[in-house]
Amino acid sequence: MIVCFSASHKKASLPLLESLNIQDEEGFMKKLCSEGLTQECVLLQTCHRVEIYCVMRNSDKDYAVKEILKFWSVKTTTSLDILKKTVEIYYGKEALTHLFFLASGLESMVLGEDQILGQVRSAYVKAKKLGSVDLILEKAFMKAVNVGRRVRTETAINEKPVSISSIAVDLAEKDFGDFKTVKTLVIGAGETGSIIAQNLKKKGVKSIFIANRTFKRGLELASKVGGKAVKFEEILHVFPKMDLVFAAISVSKPIFKAEQIRKTLSKNGSMKRLYIVDVSQPRAFDEKVGLLKGVTLKNIDDLKAIVEENLSSRQVEAEKAKKIVFEELERFERQLAKLFAEPLISEICRKIEEVRQKELERAIRKMGESDKRKLMVMDRFSRELVERILQEPIEQLREAALKNNGSLLSAARELFGIKKGEGKKVV
């Protein structure tokens, strides 16, 4: 059975998720596998989630789940009670559905985001190199990645941006047209300002200036995006050189007033045209700045309307994505059922075949038969008899695997005397 332990933004704050992060990923996965708590293991860690995917025997499931939670608690020095309240556990089909939804961007904080697809693949590759992945999780993760790609190819779930930072840049680009030659100032080098600056670089903007209260941090961001740093107190002096300004700073009230901006932009006798996108909360630019001739001012309220519109569009696309996921999930379940049941079935058939051959040889010796045609008939008869007898049990075992009926699979192992390690993929 595939089991997923998931701690995510749904039930945990960012500080709590950070405390649940497992530093020694390799050591953690090796320990789970070497202790026999799981046959396979993949650890997936991002900013908004910590997840452990395991393959375990149904008969050992309850014990293994308790021990893994204990080990996680000890490893991160987190209270076991807090961990139990935070972690959601998915079993079998639920675990697969969660993984496919995750890779498709349906479980992300930002619906349809693309980064998670690469993170899912990277987690699998890391576990594969470590040797904690075998046939089951290899098939599951590769399928999840393929489903995620198909969702993004056949739907528009990731096309319309829903983050303020992305929309701010897209809106400005739409209004400017030729964006690459635009001289741009980003005020603020925090998370939002950094994303804006990086998006500008991706769009090919050549002239990017960064202004931040802490000049050193401004320098660091400027070096990342190939731009130049500006001292915070010199912002007004560089306004006349700019075509576009983004503001993403923390202020208690507007610090850029209309009269300041008017004087700054009209020093050369003619009013300089300026496009301003203010995503600060509260606003950094007084709303009267937008009334100045030649100045366009967009604030966070303008962007939120676009966010809601785009999010609504993504939610429509999410329904299409879910249909794709469930379609692919149904196909994969049947493939997975074979992976779970076939090793056991093969071992049963091997044992039965040994018995058939021994009993056939004994019968031939007793009869003293040497006629090749008769021997062929006897061999075919015994083979077909065994196949007919096993046909119904084999179909039942495959159906049990498909329905995640581990008790029937375990009973079959016991009935046919198959030890642990034989038919080891049965879980």
Residue 20 maps to which CATH number? 3.30.460.30
Select from 253, 244, 305, 312 the least CA-distant residue to 281.
253
Amino acid 182: pLDDT: 93
Clarify whether residues 131 and 45 are in a common domain. yes
Q: Which of 4, 33, 47, 349 is catalytic?
A: 47
Clarify whether residues 182 and 119 are in a common domain. no
Q: Give the domain range for residue 409.
A: 336-415
Clarify whether residues 148 and 24 are in a common domain. yes
Amino acid 43: pLDDT: 97
Clarify whether residues 95 and 174 are in a common domain. no
Clarify whether residues 148 and 179 are in a common domain. no
Clarify whether residues 143 and 174 are in a common domain. no
Q: Does residue 347 lie in a domain region?
A: yes
41 is catalytic: no
Provide the residue-wise pLDDT of the chain in tens; the chain has 427 residues.
899 999 999 999 889 999 999 999 999 999 999 988 999 999 999 988 999 999 987 778 899 999 999 999 999 999 999 999 999 999 988 999 999 999 999 999 888 988 899 999 999 999 999 999 998 999 999 999 999 999 999 999 998 878 888 889 988 998 887 788 899 999 999 989 999 999 999 999 999 999 999 999 999 999 999 999 999 999 999 999 999 999 999 999 999 999 999 988 887 655 678 999 999 988 999 999 999 999 999 998 888 888 888 889 999 999 999 999 999 999 898 888 777 788 888 899 999 999 999 999 999 999 988 888 999 999 999 999 999 999 999 888 888 877 767 788 888 888 888 875 555 443 3
Structural domain count, the chain = 3
Clarify whether residues 153 and 27 are in a common domain. yes
Domain boundary among 159, 178, 207: 159
> What is the distance between the alpha carbons of residues 176 and 217, in angstroms, rounded to a whole number?
28
Clarify whether residues 100 and 191 are in a common domain. no
Clarify whether residues 155 and 55 are in a common domain. yes
Q: Does residue 361 lie in a domain region?
A: yes
Domain boundary among 102, 134, 159: 159
Q: Does residue 310 lie in a domain region?
A: no
Amino acid 426: pLDDT: 35
Q: Does residue 423 lie in a domain region?
A: no
Domain boundary among 302, 317, 349: 302
Amino acid 201: pLDDT: 94
Give the DSSP per-residue string, 60-129.
GHHHHHHHHHHHHHHHHT--HHHHHHH-EEEETHHHHHHHHHHHTTSSSSSTT-SHHHHHHHHHHHHHHH
Amino acid 418: pLDDT: 84
Residue 285 maps to which CATH number? 3.40.50.720
Clarify whether residues 182 and 259 are in a common domain. yes
Clarify whether residues 138 and 172 are in a common domain. no
Amino acid 411: pLDDT: 87
Q: Does residue 426 lie in a domain region?
A: no
Clarify whether residues 257 and 286 are in a common domain. yes
Q: Does residue 427 lie in a domain region?
A: no
Q: Does residue 317 lie in a domain region?
A: no
Q: Does residue 246 lie in a domain region?
A: yes
